[in-house]
Structure 1
């Protein structure tokens, strides 16, 4: 039993005439007759009675026609669904991102993409760089967005426009007015940092090494799991931190935070996808939306 045979059967059942059914299907009458014969053979019973020059559905045929029509309808719906997905008319795209990217960079881009493709449902999970990479690796996320290094052999990274890091402290901190920072200043300064595994922490430790300061020699008074908690502690005078300018911008403008003179390289963001899984049309469109090819 094939879909083509079901299509022919439903057409003959509608017309109760082989020639008219053949014309509607753009087939020869002999091909239609052969298809019906093959279907009846596979069913093990006749579906039509031949009454003189007319044909009628048998009892089995009358029962079967409803099932055949339902099958063909479901197939058509499935084809429509695939067509919708290919045309970005509907679907689901699961994103995972590190906190900074999710809260300050990705959300407005998700909103703009949704406005362009309202049929695509966007789901967002938040974690640190290590957790986001694991979600992509394990197939829990279609795309991941991180700012840290990723050491996963199955994951492909692509750079997208990012932001910059800044060393900030409370405007009232005793070291807030330093014109320059030496390795000694960094080693003596208290810090409030994100947890190990976060992209911001990785960038801070790399900056320390460039200054000749071993990361383990830095005084860390608090290790906190969110940017908001870090900034709250810094504003209260607990210590300095290296953080995204996107995150610190409000505090810098308000004067509650002060940027310190530490040269930090521009920070790239990366979009991750699994190297051995096909990206959906929605995923391809989203990457192209946030980072159009040059």
Structure 2
């Protein structure tokens, strides 16, 4: 482990540009003879640390805790109070309350079933965005083999891949075959653990699918979980690129509003620290 003297703000800027996971430790409050005052910060990664909030046993404990949080691979915030005279084995006395925030740059899992024109346009549009794309098609002629540009991966029975998808995935059904669309949708709804499922098609297709799913025993609430037609409202175009733009915009509207349940809002932070409005405003 390297302890680098790089200022914490420079480290945050550099690590963020590199999409490198890191933790930011901030002294929220202190009392007695603590080594650093409120507002002191340091940055921790799994390999290095940047700047300092006092050194010694205290800092060692904070680094270890930050790395434990980083290993969870999700954004989080934690408030922890350290008693310098006992748990940290430092003679200066006093207490220090530290906020540890982890910043994780996970991509959003998106599975696209179908390798037609709309799927091709969509992958081009969102290929460089924060999506981890799995793109599948049941036709060998549409597979990536021998192609210099990105193509879908071949899978004979795409619906069998559903068990392998990550919980919370975003799923789009854009295949060439209505019966395959139905099999995929039924599998997805029978094991609902997704952030979003969208089906290409018209309002008429949507009504027919929902009626058939109800007849096949699915609960009405489950039948209404998926979006069809897909994309943002008001786009009536039938051109593949324009449909793809609409779908991309809708996906971004969903993913841009994601909130990690491990993150604290200011009201919670104030309650945890028992700080007044004036004290928070000064920090």
Structure 1 length-normalised TM:
0.24
More relative contact order, 1 or 2 (CA 8 Å, 6+ apart): 1
Bigger Rg, which one: 1
Whichever structure has more helix as a proportion of its residues is: 1
